[in-house]
Chain A
């Protein structure tokens, strides 16, 4: 058990595994996402209230899902960094924080585009949007702190503390923003007003969510591999790898 754990923490081992899995992640992700999007955009029924404009949820919802899951996964990795000091966890957090930022931004951006036809305005201080915006700030802080500290190990540990403090705060932020929202604007806008989503909408959404998760896995692997190469550039296996690649 412990040996497995240590192996898991070895960058070299991960590098090999990631190289083997990446094509599958990419292929599976693209396939599911394409299926979900084509089904959702072209064949799923119109919404009885919003018409075609609702179709952006096939991008919006998966992005929002990922934006949140990435932060949670960073928090898990942060615990691993602080408790077991596993190199791979450091690499993971550093590699995926910008991806999380990207998906958060994407969720906000598609939300704004959706808002225009639905609410008649690009931005509404809706509880979900505001909470998303704060999540964007949290990601920004994590990335800024990581960039500010030169020493890799210190950076990883400091970022881990910040991510954990953030993850304790996320439910509080979410709760307070919900409360603030009901205080300021009685629930006129709700993204989830529709009582039930018909199966023909729900299934393509599920497919795109799964597809985007797989694509995220692929993206995380690429970024982690790059980060590992940079960090381990002085080790023999990286040198051999690079030399072999040159031939």
Chain B
């Protein structure tokens, strides 16, 4: 049951601005694992995550979701995938509570107590009704991260989640990701932060360049 891959990439290739960014990339993401995408700046980490999330359609190759081509059941794929990108997806004019509600609204009904608990869990208790533009960059980031505490999606795609988060927060997120993997979720992260988790898998980008 654990071995069935959630998402499989076969011969993924992506060209951007006349540069071959990703090439011959194949891997599978299995439930219960934490995978880190590694590579230097500009090696295509963000592009890869955007492709996997379904934001970038300019690629060739195959993406299988639960063994079937992803395009066949995109809705089920989106329902089961959580993506957090560079841009936090937080409206500065809305409060953390309103933001979370709006983010969850298209996915599944979540009641406000659960959301308030999640905000408290990220250290934002007392800020529920302050417009996000009055919060610091790190706090805005935490609003986005509060979604991880209510997320049901088996697959998480997290791009640079540790940006603007303090040392204590980083530790908490590390623990959360580890726990998530232990519970049977699949987590894919990119980070410049030195992430040390036992059993972590790696996808290294940029290695295949330079030779014909």
Contacts and interface: CB of A to CB of B under 8 A. Distances in A.
Nearest to B18: A152
A188 interface: no
Interface in B8-23: 15-18
A154 interface: yes
A160 B89 CA distance: 29
A153 B18 CA distance: 9
Interface in A13-54: none
A192 interface: no
How many interface residues does chain B have, given as a range? under 10
How many interface residues does chain A have, given as a range? under 10
A240 interface: no
Nearest to B60: A85
Nearest to B212: A236
B12 to A, nearest CB: 16
B183 to A, nearest CB: 39
Contacts of A152: 18
Nearest to A153: B58
A234 B20 CA distance: 11
B144 to A, nearest CB: 27
Contacts of B17: 150-151
Interface in A150-168: 150-154
Contacts of A150: 17
Nearest to A233: B18
Interface string B58-69: 100000000000
B59 to A, nearest CB: 10
Contacts of A154: 58
Contacts of B58: 151, 153-154
A174 to B, nearest CB: 34
Interface in A195-247: 234
Q: Please give me the 9 A-B residue pairs with the lowest Cβ-Cβ distance, nearest first.
A: A153-B58, A151-B17, A150-B17, A151-B16, A154-B58, A152-B18, A153-B15, A151-B58, A234-B18
Interface of B: 15-18, 58
Interface of A: 150-154, 234
9 contacts: A150-B17, A151-B16, A151-B17, A151-B58, A152-B18, A153-B15, A153-B58, A154-B58, A234-B18
Given A151-B16, A153-B58, A154-B58, 6 more contacts: A150-B17, A151-B17, A151-B58, A152-B18, A153-B15, A234-B18
